[in-house]
Structure 1
Amino acid sequence: MAANWKTTTLIPLVITFLFLLDGLLTAIFSAQFLDGTKTMTPRLIVLVLILMSFYIPRSRMLVYGVIFGLIYDSYYVGILGVYVLLFPLIIYLTEKLKKILNPNPVVIGMMVIINLSLIETYLYLFYQVLGYTTINWATFLADRLGPTLLLNLVLFIIVFYPLKKITERIQEE
């Protein structure tokens, strides 16, 4: 019974906490994250989804990806479907790659960089097609993608071991 409680309650609580922390970090550090033309976007929810994808079964993580994608879309974006597609996609990609890669901190860090690059590039192209952004590709790479990857790499280093321990404890029981 304890394992069922942990997998059905603790995982969503951890994801929800990091989802809210994303917005809180942006609000508190908006002057630092939005420095002139440079924009850094914390993606703690993506970090937790990637890390948990290494340890929690794919079917459960895909459900969490869809649910939290819908919540993320409705709370932060206002266009339903963007993150509903992206979150399960990165979970699926991570799950497929974990079969051929050893899940150590360096590999998981590389998966974070790859998945965040895919997400940010998809978002850039999506918003460009809709006309919400007019920046060119070089500006996107230098002013948005690079700073966002750097910020999230630092956040990954900070949250990796606590999240890994929580996830392993959930998985063990």
Structure 2
Amino acid sequence: MIIRYSMFIALFILFILEGTVYQVFAPDFHGSAYQLIPRWMFMLILVAGIHRGRGNGLLYGITFGVLYDIIYSQVLGVYTFGMGLIAYVFSNSIPFFKDNLAVLILTVVVGVGLLEYYIYGMMTLLGKTSLAHETFLSTRFIPTLIMNFLVITVFAFPLRLWFQYLERRMDEMN
């Protein structure tokens, strides 16, 4: 039973953890000019989509995008659409993507970059931010990509092992 819902449990824990960790990395807390936005939940959604297929990536992306919109966003639907679409597009359940860690890491980092750019574009379009593009690139986009790249690099191999374990257990249950 716990195996079947372990993905939702892990995503929910990361959802809560992201909001907590962001408070530590918030620029006004330390006086830093850089914003480091943890996208760990979204990275797990992308890895889950790659390992378990597009349907799962889309389901997790939309479900947790709605939660993200309700809790963290000023505008409803921005994260829902962005996470769902990017998770659907990047969820290639091809053995080459599953087995090659470098390709997995690159795919996840590009997905996070697209999400960041999409969120920035939508907030600019809707007038919710007045941040200049150059400032966005230097203070938020690049530092966020570097931090999330380091995190996925450390956790890519354990995540792959976890998904292999989940797949074996799900096959045993069926």
Scaled by the length of structure 1, the TM-score of the pair is: 0.86
Deviations 1:73-107 (A, max 9, x none): 101114221111112212211124x5495332111
Q: Distance in 2 between matches of 1:160 and 1:87?
A: 20
2:163 is aligned to: 167
The answer (yes or no) to whether the contact 2:46–2:90 under 8 Å persists in 1 is: yes
Q: Percent identity?
A: 26
1:105 is aligned to: 101
1:37 aligned residue (24, 33, 40): 33
Q: Distance in 2 between matches of 1:140 and 1:11?
A: 32
1:114 is aligned to: 110
Q: Distance in 2 between matches of 1:11 and 1:102?
A: 19
Q: Read off the aligned partner of 1:6 and give its amino acid letter.
A: I
31 and 130 in structure 1: CA distance in 2 versus 1, 3 angstrom threshold: closer
Q: Distance in 1 between matches of 2:43 and 2:30?
A: 21
The answer (yes or no) to whether the contact 1:72–1:83 under 8 Å persists in 2 is: yes
Q: Distance in 1 between matches of 2:159 and 2:30?
A: 27
Q: Secondary structure at the match of 2:119?
A: helix
85 and 30 in structure 1: CA distance in 2 versus 1, 3 angstrom threshold: same
The answer (yes or no) to whether the contact 1:55–1:171 under 8 Å persists in 2 is: no
Say if 2:9 is the partner of 1:6: no
Q: Which has the higher contact order (CA 8 A, sep 6+)?
A: 1
Equivalent residue pairs, number: 168
Q: Distance in 1 between matches of 2:78 and 2:56?
A: 20
Say if 2:50 is the partner of 1:54: yes
Q: Distance in 2 between matches of 1:99 and 1:132?
A: 38
Q: Read off the aligned partner of 1:37 and give its amino acid letter.
A: A
The answer (yes or no) to whether the contact 1:73–1:81 under 8 Å persists in 2 is: yes
Deviations 1:115-139 (A, max 9, x none): 1111111111111112222122222
Per-residue deviation, 1:144? 1.1
Listed as ranges, the gaps of 5+ residues in structure 1 are none
Q: Distance in 1 between matches of 2:29 and 2:168?
A: 37
Say if 2:60 is the partner of 1:64: yes
Say if 2:33 is the partner of 1:75: no
Q: Distance in 2 between matches of 1:138 and 1:151?
A: 19
The answer (yes or no) to whether the contact 2:40–2:148 under 8 Å persists in 1 is: yes
1:151 aligned residue (134, 147, 152): 147
168 and 52 in structure 1: CA distance in 2 versus 1, 3 angstrom threshold: same
Q: Distance in 2 between matches of 1:51 and 1:60?
A: 10
Q: Read off the aligned partner of 2:3 and give its amino acid letter.
A: K
2:134 is aligned to: 138
The answer (yes or no) to whether the contact 1:70–1:83 under 8 Å persists in 2 is: yes
Deviations 1:118-163 (A, max 9, x none): 1111111111112222122222111111000011011112322332
